[in-house]
Chain A
Amino acid sequence: MNDTLIAPPASFFCDRFGLDNGCLTATLGTALERRVDHADLFFEYTTEDSVALEEGMVKTGDRRLSQGVGVRVQAGERQGYAHSDEITVESLRIAASTARAISEGPGPGRAVAVRSAVAPARNLYPVTRPPTDAPVDRKVALLGEIDAYARSLDPRITQVMASVVAQHRVVLIAASDGTLAGDVRPLVRLNVQVIAANAAGSRRESGYQGMGGRFEIERVFAPEAWRPLVAETVRLACLNLEAVPCPAGTMDVVLGPGWPGILLHEAVGHGLEGDFNRKKTSTFADRIGQRVAAPGVTVVDDGTIPTRRGSLNFDDEGTPTQRTVLIEDGILRGYLQDRLNARLMGMAATGNGRRESYAHLPMPRMTNTFMLAGSDPPEDIVRSVRRGLYAVSFSGGQVDITSGKFVFSANEAYLIEDGQIGRPVKGATLIGNGPDALLRVSRIGNNLELDRGIGTCGKDGQSVPVGVGMPTIRLDALTVGGTEA
């Protein structure tokens, strides 16, 4: 697969499929024969592989090659889209004719001059070779070491499941405004799940941890990276063997740093995506300038952090990513925008136009969303709670952006009694109302952490990799679901 790499995307697609600037210009010209506002082409060539272990054996290896092109035309609020797994001049012409059908009437017929390809101003994830080129034997060896190490840590471990997944994606975006942007996107992920059983075999619990990002795959091969991860997974499964049912009701909640930032993703992030606010279907519509969080709460979405899972040099419409302040000291400042919604709302695109693949239309999506640090030592925050819940890790969350109600499920949580961390509890689910949840923030820690690089966000059937982060925070009087009434 050395031929895929690591040529600049424009020459990669030109060499492989014979697409030169003339062809791109002609295709966009076909789209622009109608009255349209914008047209773009998205080319993709993705290789993904995964190797998985269970029962002490690497039983399977997969390798997937996916290529295609999506042609999009925008006219007012309308979008026409056609995609094909064939990348040929003929399939491009057909797709452009299909996509432009949403526009009524002939347009002025514009000539498009596609600029020469723009390389990213800064490459956030340079790699010397695609992660999919790493020898499979090295991945097999890693998984074997993980299995042995997990079992050596605690005799109660009965199952170890681990996988290493690598992706190498080359994209090229050409648009009617002359944009021509290419990007080479590596993505690596290591997953570890273990099952622990008590001595009698009467109770089993699982633990899961993962890590990843846009970096050289060698990073996950390093023992100093995977050993703490495996130890953490084993600790979690064994801890859950001791966990008691979670009490239900309203209580003060302390969220640990890092991955619990999923709170921001669900409670406010989705509700601030431009499409929902243009359509006014979000509970945050028309609220810019209003207080939506407690003083001291600042939330940003930043697609420019090097090597992060949610980062991109360009979004999937060719707009450079940026750091966007969503909430500043508790006041709503901005939305996340793709080109369509930015144009219709008279705002600037923020580099958040993302799509799962060439087979999908872009939408406003988050990148890495996190809360900035405050000044409280995390120990003081826990000590400030008389009776409550300390939640450290979550398995997932979901939001209804219209009613604002969100939920997320803890897979590591403890009771707090008189300011002390007490027994572990299982099955804790937190539920709240987006516009009011961040008003309940009463303490903000000085310990901002980002997650380990495992987030995947689903919207309208499309999955994209994202990141979250947060310092330790305290939320007053949140509803906690559990089985103990």
Chain B
Amino acid sequence: MRNPPDAAAVVERALSHARQLGAAAADAMLVESDGVEARVRDREIDFVSQARERTLGIRAFVGDAKGLRSALTSTSDLALAAVTRMAEEAVALARATAADPAAGLPEGDFATDLPDLALFDPADRVLEVEARIDCARRAEAAARALDSRITNSEGSQVSSHFHRVVYGNSAGFFGEYQSASHALFCEPIACENGAMQRDYWMTLHRRIGGLEDPAAVGRRAAERALRRLGARRVSTCEVPVIFDPLTARSLLSHLFACVSGYAVYRQTSFLAGRIGEAIASERVTVIDDGRRPGGLGSRPFDGEGQPTRHNRVVERGRLRGYLLDTYSGRKLGLASTGNASRGASSAPSVGPTNLSLEPGTQSLEEIVATTPRGLLVTELIGQGFNPVTGDYSRGAAGLWIEGGEIAHPVEEVTIAGNLGEMLRALDAVGSDLLWLGSIASPSLRIAGMTVAGS
């Protein structure tokens, strides 16, 4: 194969070159990725794709204690000449930006312990592509076998990706970690009386062995598509709205957008300046945990070398803290919360690690049973959320509830409200917390939202 330059040496070279050119400080991140993806459709292989990528990002700061100017360059060409040129361009570009008193590397408190967070199993490296494709086949076959109305499919997809992150800065921090993510996704189509409905189910894990059984994924996907057959609109009304875990996590990602330090100091969040206030029902506790073992958002250190940690965002309805990197923390007079998120080719910003809403005790079925009339949302489409005001309005599909029971599927409706009011009106939290990424939620019920239909 190829004989690449050592990753650590590339990072060191980038840093030392930036310093030689006059940078007051610098950091560099090298991300190596490789992986395979495949899709099976109608029992046949649709595509198989293999990838290898390496990208180096160099961030340079020039200036003095009164304020630093910064810029970032990145390259997928790691030859010495390219690395040298990108370091030069980073320094030159930084000189063109404004001196910013809040810019710069963290002052200290870099991660010293790099715990094994179970993000990668070396055994999975010996990857049999055929075996992974077989999983996709089994998922699709199980979906089709469940019911004769499953007549078509967008396919069943598997992927395995491996990453290595190497980060160093001129303040003396140097660290690296490896991670992997493996996924199986199945998207069958149900057909009845000429109408088609698609839906999906998926499983995602740091280890191949942790993935759900392919046949179970296929069956679940098929059940979800089948229950949408015969969907219709409902009349415009105001009713309780239940979000299943898949859709509820989108509410949590909206909440994240409003507690991110950047939105707060820019005043583009309706939660700016509200630390300590009751912003949600007492049922709501939201945690961001950067070191959850095997977590899909876990990492031993963040994008600036700060240790990741356990942050309380909302505690029993009260806003406890924002999520911050060094820059947004300085703008707010606060310390970083270890939430700097970056790739090789982007400067740090704030990202969630493993952000979740603490589960309650009721099953989704119990929540439905205690809802006289309402909508259970199973899919949301469109981008109708405004973090500045909290205004919320999105397209939805799901199941109509009458007398505590599922009555019929619903489509082509919108649900609308305001996130601030929705969080306060949250009156049921499920026990079914579901991790399918770095943001997770159990089922949630909002006491009243406007459903627009016919």
Contact = CB atoms under 8 A, between A and B. Distances in A.
B112 interface: no
A395 to B, nearest CB: 6
A361 B47 contact: yes
B154 interface: yes
Interface in B188-237: 189, 195-198, 228, 231, 233, 236-237
A86 B46 contact: no
Contacts of A204: 267-268, 270, 388-389
B86 A62 contact: no
B76 A60 contact: no
B198 A480 contact: no
Interface string A39-71: 000000000010100110111111111111000
B48 A102 contact: yes
B163 to A, nearest CB: 14
Contact of B198 (A80, A395, A403, A408): A403
Contact of A81 (B50, B346, B452): B50
Interface in B391-418: 391-395, 397, 411-418
A67 B76 contact: yes
A398 B381 contact: yes
Contact of B48 (A80, A399, A479): A80
Nearest to A53: B98
A281 B46 CA distance: 15
Given A407-B395, A427-B391, A79 B347 contact: no
Interface string B412-454: 1111111000000000000000000000000000000011111
Interface string B115-149: 00000000000000000000000000000000000
Contact of B393 (A63, A250, A483): A483
A60 B347 contact: yes
Q: Which of B73, B228, B391, B453 has the most CB of A within 10 A?
A: B391
A484 B450 contact: yes
A137 B95 CA distance: 10
Interface in A109-153: 136-137, 140
A57 B100 contact: yes
Q: Which of B44, B49, B345 has the most CB of A within 10 A?
A: B49
Interface string B92-128: 0110111010010000000000000000000000000
A283 B196 CA distance: 7
A364 to B, nearest CB: 14
Contacts of B397: 400, 403, 405
A454 interface: no
A351 interface: no
Contacts of B100: 57, 59
B402 to A, nearest CB: 19
A402 B198 contact: yes
B276 interface: no
A90 B417 contact: no
B236 to A, nearest CB: 5
B450 A485 contact: yes
A165 B391 CA distance: 29
Interface of A: 49, 51, 54-55, 57-68, 76-86, 90-91, 94-95, 98-99, 101-102, 136-137, 140, 158-159, 161, 195, 197, 203-206, 246, 248-250, 279-281, 283, 359, 361, 395-400, 402-403, 405-409, 426-429, 431-433, 479-485
The 6 closest A-B pairs by CB, nearest first: A481-B414, A407-B395, A248-B452, A407-B382, A57-B98, A81-B49
Interface of B: 1-2, 41, 44-55, 70-77, 82, 86, 89-90, 93-94, 96-98, 100, 103, 152-154, 189, 195-198, 228, 231, 233, 236-238, 266-268, 270, 345-347, 379, 381-384, 386, 388-389, 391-395, 397, 411-418, 450-454
Given A57-B98, A406-B395, A431-B382, 5 more contacts: A102-B47, A205-B389, A206-B268, A431-B412, A481-B416
